[in-house]
Homo-oligomer: A and B are copies of this chain.
């Protein structure tokens, strides 16, 4: 029993290793800040498929296959896959799993799903229930827009606070034993709903959940913000990120010098993505394409990776509900 009553954090006894990571992205992401870091950049948003949804499935297959290949394992050595996406009923994930033929658990934490899948994967490994796990997520700009907002063909104008759903998939292979960056601790979030209802301003809606989980992590583990080289949130964008800094400052701590949001690491200013990136693949692309190699090479030694999710749907929005948000934190150290 590693967790004290009332706490939300888990300290792993034998921290599981992240053995490999891979990411594939769309053309806009390929022209962005992480363009050179992706394992593959598609030429268009279809990737040879006949729908955006099928393209998203294809991306997840490619990311998982590439990550597994890097470890030298065969796909049949993967005990379980833990994965999810933003599409209704997780169809991107479910259809990708059809061809991968591994035992599979579907997860939904909106854009926090990468952190969620890594936390469950780490528990399965540290608990002794598996040897090799894949954690993966995907999102697709056009598939997400037509599901959540407007068909992209409509060219509806977006407010400047809006974010751009990342077209990408990221996957990590997690292993019992092995050298490499390790998941040492995790904090599972509670729902925080600040009462916001604007689905074009999800960064600010998620910021209190991100700050809540980040703060809880510090309380539970006794670590201070400067324990980490860097703290990353998933997809708060430029507006939400500033809010997190202020919310943590209100609690008497300062993360302004070692905190960044993955949503600010994907697109260039000139790409007109407004407040930054969003989607399951925002944090996953940053982690799998960029942060993981930095950790593996030792340039980064300790990071706190916080997935952030807006748990609304178009139906809840139409029923005038606010946006419940959640954040899950994963400590990765080498």
Interface of A with B (CB < 8 Å)?
1-3, 5-6, 8, 10, 13, 51, 53-54, 76-77, 79-80, 84, 86-91, 94-95, 97-98, 101-110, 116, 119-120, 123-124, 126-131, 147, 176, 188-191, 193, 311-316, 319, 321, 324, 326, 328
By beta carbon, the residue of chain B nearest A11 is: B129
Tell me, rounded to whole Å, the shortest Cβ–Cβ distance linking A196 to chain B: 13
Q: Smallest CB-CB separation from A148: which chain B residue?
A: B89
Using A86-B89, A101-B191, A105-B119 as known contacts, list a sample of 15 further A-B pairs with CB atoms less than 8 Å apart, ordered by residue number in A. A2-B129, A13-B128, A51-B319, A54-B319, A88-B315, A89-B110, A89-B312, A91-B316, A94-B312, A95-B324, A98-B191, A102-B190, A104-B188, A107-B108, A124-B127
Contacts A1-B131, A109-B106, A129-B10; A319 near B53 (Cβ below 8 A): yes
* Pairs A–B under 8 Å by Cβ, sample size 14: A1-B128, A1-B131, A54-B319, A84-B108, A87-B315, A89-B313, A90-B108, A91-B311, A94-B312, A104-B190, A107-B108, A123-B124, A123-B127, A127-B127
Q: Measured between alpha carbons, how far is A315 from B79 in the docked complex, in Å?
A: 30
Residue of A51, A101, A314, A324 most packed against chain B (CB within 10 A): A324
Asked whether, in the complex, the Cβ of A311 is within 8 Å of the Cβ of B94, the reply is yes
CA distance A76 to B7 in the complex (A): 10
Whether the Cβ atoms of B109 and A105 lie closer than 8 Å is yes
A316, B94: Cα distance in complex, Å: 11
Copies of this polypeptide in the complex: 2
- What are the 9 tightest A-B residue pairs by CB atom distance, in nearest-first order? A127-B127, A89-B313, A94-B311, A103-B188, A88-B88, A108-B108, A106-B108, A8-B103, A88-B313
Q: Which among A10, A79, A106 has the highest number of chain B CB atoms within 10 Å?
A: A106
Distance A321 CA – B130 CA, assembled complex (angstroms): 32
Min CB gap A134→B, angstroms: 13
A188 to B107, CA, bound (A): 14
Residues of B within 8 A of A102 (CB): 190
* A2: min CB distance to chain B, Å: 6
Cβ-defined partner of A324 (8 Å) among B10, B51, B97: B97
**Residue of B at shortest CB range from A77?**
B5
Report whether A1 and B191 are in contact in the complex, using a CB–CB cutoff of 8 Å: no
CA distance A87 to B315 in the complex (A): 9
- Whether B89 lies near A193 (C-beta < 8 A) is no
CB distance from A318 to the nearest CB of B (A): 10
- Chain B: CB-nearest residue to A90: B108
User: When chains A and B are docked, how far (Å) is the Cα of A95 from the Cα of B312?
Assistant: 9
Report A93 CB to chain B, min CB distance, Å. 8
